[in-house]
Amino acid sequence: MCMRLPMKWFVSFLIGLTIVAAFTFLPQTAQSASCDPSYPTVCIAPAPPDLDCKDITYQNFQVKQPDPHRFDRDKDGIGCESK
């Protein structure tokens, strides 16, 4: 009986640590209905209006097709690449 309490505590600790790590280290995704799903790691409003890279503060973000704002001109999956 004495060994069960530390083992339960240890298992609970590991589960809690896993949950915290998942929320800390996994990339944040845009979850709002007002965010365009073509840009899953940032929240950019769907067109219209058409936006250019100079109109937003994000750089080097993931782009999925279709790319309605044409942030990924070279189609390598990275939008508004910094030079």
List all residues 6 or more positions away from 41 whose beta carbon is below 8 Å from its beta carbon.
27, 28, 29, 30, 61, 62
Domains held by the chain: number? 1
Count CB neighbours of 47 within 10 A. Answer: 12
Question: CA–CA separation, 59 vs 23, rounded Å?
Answer: 23
Question: CA–CA separation, 59 vs 70, rounded Å?
Answer: 13
pLDDT tens, position by position, 21-57: 776 665 555 456 789 999 999 999 888 888 999 999 9
Supply the pLDDT for residue 9.
84
Domain membership of residue 57 as a residue range: 4-79
pTM of the model: 0.59
